[in-house]
Amino acid sequence: MNTDRPPPSIPPVTEADLHAFVDGRLPAERQVEIAAYLAARPEDAQRLEAYRAHKRELHALFDPVLDEQPPQRLLKSARPRAVPQTPWYLQRLAAGIAIAVISGATGWGLRGGLPAGGDDAGRMAAAAPAERGLTLA
């Protein structure tokens, strides 16, 4: 009989479970299951003890840095700057003025290129065949 397999009611132990066990982030029921798993597998228990030692060394190195106060220049640059808000009606007024100026400039620029009125356009249409020597009946 193979004793390496857990009973069917217990979910298989994953690497994530082992790391969570080392970090103390498992529910109490799952911690008991992992402890039983490690009792049956001394090589995995030894590997997890190396993980714990590594975790202690990292805390010894970096916990003092985490307790330091950040420099004031970093705190000042991290603060959000207040942006003054322009009232909505001023934005709409500026957009309306811009549209009026652009429309006026466009109209002024096109004023000489188009016929001035309907009468001139009709006369031009009637004059074109007459210039070629044709008469309208």
- Tokens linked to 27: 């529910």
Q: 55 lies in a domain?
A: yes
Q: 35 lies in a domain?
A: yes
Domain holding 58, by residue range, is: 15-68
- Residue pLDDT tens, the chain, 137 long: 455 665 567 789 999 999 999 999 999 999 999 999 999 999 999 999 999 999 999 999 999 998 999 888 888 888 877 777 778 888 899 999 999 999 999 988 887 766 555 556 666 666 666 556 555 55
Angle between helices 28-40 and 15-23 (to 10 degrees): 110
Q: 105 lies in a domain?
A: no
pTM for the structure as a whole: 0.46
Please state the domain count of the chain. 1
Q: 83 lies in a domain?
A: no
Q: 23 lies in a domain?
A: yes
Q: 115 lies in a domain?
A: no
CA distances (Å), 95 to each of 65, 89, 111, 114, 127, in order?
53, 10, 24, 28, 45
